[in-house]
Structure 1
Amino acid sequence: MKTILICDDDVHIRGLVKGLLSKEGFKILAADNGAAAFELLQKEMCDLAIVDVMMPIMDGYLLTSKIRKLYDIPVILLTAKSQIEDKEKGFESGTDDYLIKPFEPKELIFRVNALLRRYGNSNEANVNLGSLYINKKRYEVKINNKTFILPLKEFELLSFLAAHPNQVFTRSHLIEKLWGLEFEGDDRTVDVHIKRLRERFSDIADDFSIKTIRGVGYSLEAENA
Structure 2
Amino acid sequence: MNMINKNKINILVVDDEDSITSFIKMGLEAEGYNVYTASDGIGAMALARKLKPEIIILDIMMPGMDGYEVCDEIKKLMKTSIIMLTAKDEIDARVKGLNSGADDYMIKPFSFKELLARINARLRNIFPELNSLIPIGDFLIDNGAHEISFRDKTLKLSVTEYNLLKYLLINNGLVLSKASIIENVWCNDFNGEENIVEVYIRYLRDKLGDKEHKIIFTVRGVGYRMTI
TM-score range with shorter-chain normalisation?
A: 0.5 to 0.7
SS of residue paired to 2:122:
helix
Q: Give the aligned partner of residue 23 of structure 1.
A: 30
**What TM-score do you get using the length of structure 1 for normalisation?**
0.56
Q: Structure 2 vs 1, CA of residues 82 and 44 (structure 1 numbering), >3 Å: closer, same or farther? A: same
Alignment equivalent of 2:65, drawn from 45, 58, 70: 58
* 2:137 aligned with 1:113: no
Q: Structure 2 vs 1, CA of residues 170 and 101 (structure 1 numbering), >3 Å: closer, same or farther? A: farther
Q: What amino acid is the match of 2:113?
A: K
**What TM-score do you get using the length of structure 2 for normalisation?**
0.55
Alignment equivalent of 1:167, drawn from 187, 190, 207: 190
Q: 1:196-215 to 2 correspondence within 5 Å?
A: none
Q: How many residue pairs are counted as aligned between the two chains?
A: 145
Q: Structure 2 vs 1, CA of residues 172 and 59 (structure 1 numbering), >3 Å: closer, same or farther? A: farther
User: What is the deviation of 1:164?
Assistant: 4.6
User: CA deviation digits over 1:109-162, x for unaligned, max 9?
Assistant: 11111111122224489xxxxxxxxxxxxxxxxxxxxxxxxxxxxxx99x958x
* 2:80 aligned with 1:73: yes
Give distance in 2, aligned partners of 1:54 and 1:172: 41
Q: Give the aligned partner of residue 90 of structure 1.
A: 97
Give distance in 1, aligned partners of 2:196 and 2:41: 35
Give distance in 1, aligned partners of 2:104 and 2:73: 16
Please, which runs of 5 or more residues in structure 2 have no aligned partner?
1-6, 130-142, 146-179, 198-216, 223-228
Q: What amino acid is the match of 2:97?
A: G
Alignment equivalent of 1:47, drawn from 54, 57, 67: 54
Please, which runs of 5 or more residues in structure 1 have no aligned partner?
126-155, 175-180, 187-225
Give distance in 2, aligned partners of 1:87 and 1:171: 27
Based on CA coordinates, which of the two structures has the bigger radius of gyration?
A: 2
Give distance in 2, aligned partners of 1:82 and 1:75: 20
User: What is the deviation of 1:83?
Assistant: 3.8
Q: Give the aligned partner of residue 211 of structure 1.
A: none
Q: Structure 2 vs 1, CA of residues 164 and 86 (structure 1 numbering), >3 Å: closer, same or farther? A: closer
Percent identical among aligned pairs is 37
Q: Structure 2 vs 1, CA of residues 103 and 171 (structure 1 numbering), >3 Å: closer, same or farther? A: farther
Q: Structure 2 vs 1, CA of residues 61 and 164 (structure 1 numbering), >3 Å: closer, same or farther? A: closer
Q: What amino acid is the match of 1:102?
A: P
Q: What amino acid is the match of 2:115?
A: L
RMSD after superposition: 3.3
* 2:109 aligned with 1:102: yes
Give distance in 2, aligned partners of 1:170 and 1:76: 32
